[in-house]
Every structure is written in structure tokens, then in C-alpha cells.
């Protein structure tokens, strides 16, 4: 059997990846609710900052854990099983990973914005902030549910 980077720890990494994703989807959903309040003229600045920071940390942790487990997934799960028996799940995984990468700059943007903007003084910036939060949340929801479906089809 070939030696694959962190193969022995792949299951642990995926469990931790899922745990971080639970934190991430919670933080992003709460952040979206807070951002909706910004649009309605009821900014809750402190909570927005807390969820933006939590979202950034959870996104980074989830992303890095996914990167570490990826070589094992690529060969043992995708290469040997999904590509042969469930190609739609292979494709769904690649769509998910690409979407998740594209969310990286958005989650950094929302974190920095949450620190430097003042929604009362700058309503235009608050609307832009809300738009990036909503798109980030949509990406996270898609990635989490796609991950669940893929893992239910074949895990590491």
C-alpha cells in the first residue's frame, strides 16, 4: 500500500474538519442575521465583530484540516471509489472545494470590515458588508451540506 501523507490520521482529521465546519456554519448563519440587521438600521456592532472573528478562525481551521486530509481522500476515496462508483460525488466534491477556496477572500473581507467600519456613519459600507456576508454564508451552507452528502456516500 502506498504511503500517503497523514493517511493514518485521515479519519481524525475529517472528524475535526466536520467539527470546525459545525462552528463555521453556526457563526456564518448568525453573522448573516446580524448583517440583515445592519440593512434594517439596527446594527449590533459587537456581535457582528464576534461572529466575523469566529467565522474567520473557523473557516481557516476547517480549510486547513480539509487540506491535510485531502491527499488520502484524493486517492483512497475519490481515485479508488467515487470516480468508479459515484462520479457525481467526485464532481460535487471538486465543486465544493473550489467554492470554499473562493470564499477565503470574502471571509477575510468581512472580518476586516467588521473591525474598521461604522455602520451608522457609513450605510453604504454596511450594505456592501452585508452582501459579502450573505455570499460567504451561502458558500458555507453549500460546502457543509455537500460535504455531508459526499461523506455519506464514501468516507475516508
| Cα dihedral 69→70→72→76 (10° resolution) | 130
Instruction: Report the alpha-carbon distance of residue 71 to residue 37 in Å, rounded.
Output: 41
**Structure-block grid coordinates of residue 77:** 476515496
**Where does this chain touch other proteins (CB under 8 A) — which range of 28-36, 42-50, 51-59, 123-131?**
123-131
Among 42, 67, 120, 145, binds other proteins (CB under 8 A): 67
**Where does this chain touch other proteins (CB under 8 A) — which range of 30-38, 43-51, 53-61, 120-128?**
120-128
Q: Is 75 in the site for other proteins (CB under 8 A)?
A: yes
Q: Is 46 in the site for other proteins (CB under 8 A)?
A: no
With beta carbons less than 8 A apart as the criterion, state whether 137 and 55 touch: no
Q: Is 68 in the site for other proteins (CB under 8 A)?
A: no
Shortest CB 123 distance to other proteins, Å: 9
Give the gyration radius of the chain's Cα atoms: 18
Q: 132 vs 54, 101, 110, 146, CA distance in Å?
A: 16, 15, 7, 21
Shortest CB 155 distance to other proteins, Å: 9
Among 81, 141, 151, 153, binds other proteins (CB under 8 A): 81
Instruction: Report the alpha-carbon distance of residue 137 to residue 43 in Å, rounded.
Output: 18
Shortest CB 94 distance to other proteins, Å: 5
Residue 113, C-beta contacts closer than 8 angstroms, at least 6 positions apart: 52, 125, 128, 129, 132
Q: Is 125 in the site for other proteins (CB under 8 A)?
A: yes
Among 33, 45, 53, 135, binds other proteins (CB under 8 A): 135
Shortest CB 64 distance to other proteins, Å: 11
Amino acid at each position: 500500500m502506498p504511503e500517503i501523507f497523514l493517511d493514518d490520521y485521515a479519519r481524525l482529521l475529517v472528524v475535526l474538519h466536520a467539527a470546525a465546519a459545525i462552528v463555521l456554519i453556526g457563526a456564518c448563519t448568525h453573522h448573516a442575521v446580524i448583517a440583515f440587521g445592519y440593512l434594517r438600521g439596527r446594527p449590533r456592532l459587537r456581535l457582528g465583530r464576534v461572529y466575523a472573528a469566529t467565522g474567520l478562525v473557523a473557516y481557516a481551521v476547517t480549510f486547513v484540516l480539509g487540506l491535510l486530509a485531502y491527499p488520502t481522500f484524493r486517492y483512497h476515496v475519490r481515485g479508488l471509489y467515487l470516480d468508479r462508483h459515484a462520479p457525481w460525488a467526485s464532481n460535487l466534491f471538486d465543486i465544493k472545494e473550489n467554492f470554499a477556496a473562493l470564499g477565503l477572500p470574502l471571509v477575510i473581507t468581512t472580518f476586516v470590515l467588521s473591525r474598521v467600519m461604522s455602520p451608522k456613519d457609513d450605510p453604504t459600507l454596511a450594505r456592501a458588508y452585508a452582501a459579502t456576508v450573505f455570499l460567504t454564508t451561502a458558500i458555507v451552507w453549500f460546502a457543509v451540506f455537500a460535504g455531508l452528502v459526499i461523506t455519506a456516500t464514501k468516507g475516508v
